[in-house]
Amino acid sequence: MRRLWIVLIAGVVIELSRGYFTPRLEALPAASDGWTLVAQTTLDPVPAELRTSPETSRAVKAWRGTYSGTSPMTITLYAMQKARYFRVAVSPGADQTIC
């Protein structure tokens, strides 16, 4: 009987912690500072070709959005554990100098 209680309590704890360890974001912003979301893709699970850097290797989910605006832009948002995110923005017409 004691083992049954331990399994039951462990199940409740795991279920309650799912909201803490899984990403809460469901979509990218529709518009921001002159850019408008044109298309969005949810990547779950994250493909191996996107897990090439140390920053993205532990991603649990990702979203890729294409934005139109002054110059086209693609944003990939990686959800890490504990509600942390890592973002990569790519724009073909952007200035590559780092400020």
What is the 3 state secondary structure string of 25-91?
A: CCCCCCEECCEEEEEEEEECCCCHHHCCCCCCCCCCEEEEEEEECCCCEEEEEEECCCCCEEEEEEC
User: Residue ranges of the domains in the chain?
Assistant: 2-90
Both tokens assigned to 24? 């809460």
As a whole number, mean pLDDT of residues 6-14 equals 74
As a whole number, mean pLDDT of residues 5-13 equals 75
56: pLDDT strictly greater than 80: yes
Both tokens assigned to 60? 């649990």
- Which tops the pLDDT comparison, 12 or 84? 84
78: pLDDT strictly greater than 80: yes
pLDDT tens digits, one per residue of 63-72: 999 998 888 8
Is the separation of the CB atoms in 60 and 23 below 8 Å? yes
Is the separation of the CB atoms in 76 and 85 below 8 Å? no
Q: How confident is the model at residue 21 (pLDDT cuts 50, 70, 90)?
A: low
* Predicted pLDDT at 30: 78
As a whole number, mean pLDDT of residues 35-51 equals 88
With a pLDDT cut of 90, the percent of the chain lying above it is: 4
